[in-house]
Amino acid sequence: MTDKTKVSSQDQEELRRKQEERLLTAWSAPKSWRYWSAVNNSEVGQWYTLTALSFLIFAGVLALIMRAQLAVPDNDLVSPDLYNQLFTLHGSVMMFLFAVPILEAVAILLLPELVGARDLPFPRLSAFGFWCFLIGGVFVCGSIFFGAAPSGGWFMYPPLSSDPAQSGIGADIWLLGLSFIEIASIAAAVELIVGVLKFRAPGMRINLIPLYAWYTLVVGGMILFAFPPLIAGDILLEVERAFDWPFFDADRGGSPLLWQHLFWIFGHPEVYIIFLPGVALIAMIVPTFAQRPVVGYSWIVLAAVGTGFLSFGLWVHHMYTTGLPSVSLGFFSAASTAVAIPTAVQIFAFIATVMFGRLVRSVPMLFAAGALAIFVLGGLSGVMVALAPFDWQAHDTYFVVAHLHYVLIGGMLFPVIAGVYYYFPFVTGKALSEKMGRIGFWLMFIGFNVAFLPMHFTGLRGMPRRVYTYPEGLGWDWLNLISTLGAFTLAAGFAAIVIDIFRPKGKQPYCQRNPWNAGTLEWLEEIPDQPWGVRSIPIVQHRYPLWDDPDFIGKVDRGEFYLPDAEELRRETMVTSVLDAEPIQCLRVPGPSFLPMITAVFTGAAFIAATFHLYWPTLAAGILAFASLIFWLWTGTAEIPEKEEKDVGLGLSLPLYRSGPHSVGWWAMFITMLGDAAAFASLIFAYFFYWTIHSDFPGSPTGAWALFCYGIGIAAVLGAWALTFASRRWNAAGAVSASRLAIIAAIVLALASGAALLAAPYIDGLDPRLHAYPAIVWILVLWTVAHIGIGVVMLGYCLARSLAGRLTPRYDIDICNVALYWHFAAINGALAPMLVALFPLAV
Amino acid sequence: MGRIGTAGPAASAALTLVGCDGPQSALDPAGYDAQRLADLFWVMLVGALLIWIGVMVLALYAARRRDAPEGAANLLILGGGVIFSVAILTALLFYGLLLMGQLRAYSGAG
Amino acid sequence: MVRLYYRDSLWSLIAGPTIWAAHFLFCYISAAIFCAKSADPTADFQILRIVIGVATVVALIGIAIAGTQAVDDWRRALNAEWAADEDSLQIRRRFVGRAAFLLSGFSAVATVYVGMTVLFVSSCR
The H or E element that residue A576 is part of is strand A572-576
Q: Do B85 and A340 touch (CB under 8 A)?
A: yes
Residue C26 pLDDT more than 90?
yes
Strands (E), chain C: none
Task: Give the single-character DSSP code of B106.
Answer: -
- Domain membership flag for residue A458: yes
pLDDT tens profile A772-781: 999 999 999 9
Residue A217 pLDDT more than 60?
yes
Which of the given ranges, A530-534, A712-716, B103-107, has the highest pLDDT on average? A712-716
Residue B108 pLDDT more than 60?
no
Closest Cα of chain A to C116: distance in Å?
Answer: 8
pLDDT at C7: 64
How would residue B3 be classed by pLDDT, with cut points 50, 70 and 90?
Answer: very low
pLDDT at A6: 59
pLDDT tens profile A195-216: 999 999 999 999 999 999 999 9
Kindly state the average pLDDT of the residues A276-294.
95
Residue B7 pLDDT more than 70?
no
pLDDT at A404: 97
pLDDT at B109: 46
pLDDT tens profile A311-334: 999 999 999 999 999 999 999 999
Burial of A160 (0-12, 13-18, 19+ CB in 10 A): middle
What's at B11, amino acid-wise?
A
- DSSP string for A500-539: HHHS--TTSPPPPSSTT---SGGGG--SSPPTTSSSSB--
Query: Is the same domain home to B67 and B101?
Result: yes
Kindly state the average pLDDT of the residues C121-125.
86
Least confident of A285-289, A741-745, C33-37: C33-37
pLDDT at A285: 97
Contacts of B97 in chain C (CB under 8 A): 116-117, 119-121
Average pLDDT value for chain A: 93
Subunits touching B (CB < 8 Å, at least 3 pairs)? A, C
Q: C122 at the B interface (CB within 8 A)?
A: yes
Neighbouring-strand partners of residue A576: A583
Residues A388 and A329: beta-carbon distance below 8 Å? yes
Query: Is the same domain home to B49 and B99?
Result: yes
Query: Is the same domain home to B8 and B51?
Result: no
Residue A370 pLDDT more than 80?
yes
- Domain membership flag for residue A138: yes
CATH at A352: 1.20.210.10
| % chain A with pLDDT above 70 | 99
**Cα Rg, chain C, nearest whole Å:** 19
Q: Do A475 and B27 touch (CB under 8 A)?
A: no
**Which of A205, A206, A327 has its CB closest to that of C117?**
A327
Burial of B1 (0-12, 13-18, 19+ CB in 10 A): exposed
pLDDT tens profile A620-652: 999 999 999 999 999 988 889 999 899 998 989
Q: Which of B85, B88, B93 to mutate to test the interface with C (most CBs of C within 10 A)?
A: B93
pLDDT at B1: 37
Query: Is the same domain home to B90 and B45?
Result: yes
Kindly state the average pLDDT of the residues A353-358.
90
- Domain membership flag for residue A551: no
Kindly state the average pLDDT of the residues A79-103.
94
Query: Is the same domain home to B10 and B37?
Result: no
pLDDT at A601: 96
Residue A725 pLDDT more than 80?
yes
Kindly state the average pLDDT of the residues A506-518.
92
pLDDT at A55: 96
Closest Cα of chain A to B70: distance in Å?
Answer: 6
Query: Is the same domain home to B44 and B93?
Result: yes
Contacts of B94 in chain C (CB under 8 A): 120
Contacts of C5 in chain A (CB under 8 A): none
Task: Give the single-character DSSP code of A409.
Answer: I
Residue B8 pLDDT more than 70?
no
Report the distance separating Cα A231 and Cα A176, nearest Å: 10
pLDDT at A7: 66
Contacts of B73 in chain A (CB under 8 A): 295-296, 352, 355-356
Kindly state the average pLDDT of the residues A384-405.
96
Q: Give the CA dihedral A268, A274, A275, A276, nearest 10 degrees.
A: 100
Q: Do A337 and B25 touch (CB under 8 A)?
A: no
CATH at A742: 1.20.120.80
Q: Indicate the number of domains in chain A.
A: 2
pLDDT tens profile A778-798: 999 999 999 999 999 999 999
Burial of A165 (0-12, 13-18, 19+ CB in 10 A): exposed
Compute the 3-state secondary structure of chain B and give helix, strand, coil in percent, each to the nearest 5: 75, 0, 25
pLDDT at B15: 62
**CA distances (Å), origin A464, targets A249, A320, A467, A640, B18:** 26, 16, 7, 62, 21
Contacts of A341 in chain B (CB under 8 A): 81-82, 85-86, 89
Closest Cα of chain B to A721: distance in Å?
Answer: 49
Least CA distance to A332: which residue of chain C?
C114
φ, ψ dihedrals at A638, nearest 5° = 50, 50
Q: Which of C33, C44, C102 to mutate to test the interface with A (most CBs of A within 10 A)?
A: C102
Angle at A597 between CA A593 and CA A603, to 5 degrees: 140
pLDDT tens profile A227-273: 999 999 999 999 999 999 999 999 999 999 999 999 999 999 999 99
Contacts of A305 in chain C (CB under 8 A): 13-14, 17, 99, 103
pLDDT at A211: 96
Query: Is the same domain home to B80 and B39?
Result: yes
Last residue of a domain, one of A486, A502, A518: A502
Report the distance separating Cα C59 and Cα C14, nearest Å: 14
pLDDT at A749: 96
Kindly state the average pLDDT of the residues A443-453.
97
Task: Please provide the size of chain B in residues.
Answer: 110
pLDDT tens profile A117-166: 999 999 999 999 999 999 999 999 999 999 899 999 999 999 999 988 88
Max CA distance (Å), chain A? 90
Residue C81 pLDDT more than 70?
no
pLDDT at B91: 96
Residues C63 and C19: beta-carbon distance below 8 Å? yes
| % chain A with pLDDT above 90 | 84
Contacts of A737 by beta carbon, 8 Å cutoff, 6+ apart = none
- Domain membership flag for residue A663: no
Q: What is the 3-state secondary structure (H, E, C) of A305-340?
A: HHHHHHHHHCHHHHCCCCCCCHHHHHHHHHHHHHCH
Q: How many CB atoms lie within 10 A of CB A810?
A: 12
Neighbouring-strand partners of residue A537: A562
Query: Is the same domain home to B55 and B91?
Result: yes
Residues A213 and A667: beta-carbon distance below 8 Å? no
- Domain membership flag for residue A613: no
Contacts of B37 in chain A (CB under 8 A): 389-390, 392-393
Kindly state the average pLDDT of the residues A478-496.
96
Closest Cα of chain B to C11: distance in Å?
Answer: 24
How would residue C79 be classed by pLDDT, with cut points 50, 70 and 90?
Answer: low
Query: Is the same domain home to B57 and B74?
Result: yes
Report the distance separating Cα A291 and Cα A330, nearest Å: 44
**CA distances (Å), origin C18, targets A268, A364, C4, C23, C93:** 18, 36, 11, 9, 21
- DSSP string for A790-831: HHHHHHHHHHHHHHTTSS-SS--HHHHHHHHHHHHHHHHHHH
Between A and B, how many residue pairs show a Cβ–Cβ distance under 8 A? 153
Angle at A401 between CA A397 and CA A402, to 5 degrees: 110
Q: Which of C24, C25, C63, C78 to mutate to test the interface with A (most CBs of A within 10 A)?
A: C24
pLDDT at A526: 87
Closest Cα of chain C to A304: distance in Å?
Answer: 10
**Which of B86, B90, B98 has its CB closest to that of C120?**
B98
- Exposure pattern of A398-432 as b/e (b: 16+ CB <10 Å)? bbbbbbbbbbbbbbbbbbbbbbbbbbbbbbbbbbb
How would residue A176 be classed by pLDDT, with cut points 50, 70 and 90?
Answer: confident
Neighbouring-strand partners of residue A572: A588
How would residue A354 be classed by pLDDT, with cut points 50, 70 and 90?
Answer: very high
Report the distance separating Cα A50 and Cα A44, nearest Å: 10
Query: Is the same domain home to B16 and B60?
Result: no
Last residue of a domain, one of A502, A533, A563: A502
Contacts of B86 in chain C (CB under 8 A): 109
Contacts of C113 in chain B (CB under 8 A): 90, 93
Which domain covers residue A464, as residue numbers? 36-502
- Exposure pattern of B63-77 as b/e (b: 16+ CB <10 Å)? eeeeeeeeeebeebb
Subunits touching C (CB < 8 Å, at least 3 pairs)? A, B
Last residue of a domain, one of A502, A534, A558: A502
Which domain covers residue B13, as residue numbers? 1-25
Residue C4 pLDDT more than 80?
no
Residue B5 pLDDT more than 70?
no
pLDDT at A473: 86
Residue B110 pLDDT more than 50?
no
pLDDT at A8: 80
- Name the nearest CA neighbour of A63 among A607, A452, A646: A452
How would residue C5 be classed by pLDDT, with cut points 50, 70 and 90?
Answer: low
- Domain membership flag for residue A607: no
Residue predicted with more confidence, A3 or A655: A655
Least CA distance to A335: which residue of chain B?
B93
Query: Is the same domain home to B57 and B4?
Result: no
Kindly state the average pLDDT of the residues A344-362.
93
Residues A826 and A728: beta-carbon distance below 8 Å? no
- Name the nearest CA neighbour of A814 among A685, A728, A755: A728
- Name the nearest CA neighbour of A775 among A252, A247, A233: A247
Query: Is the same domain home to B8 and B38?
Result: no
Q: Indicate the number of domains in chain B.
A: 2
- Name the nearest CA neighbour of A363 among A533, A504, A497: A497
Q: How many CB atoms lie within 10 A of CB A179?
A: 19
pLDDT tens profile A521-577: 999 988 888 888 889 999 999 999 999 999 999 999 988 899 998 888 999 999 999
- Domain membership flag for residue A814: yes
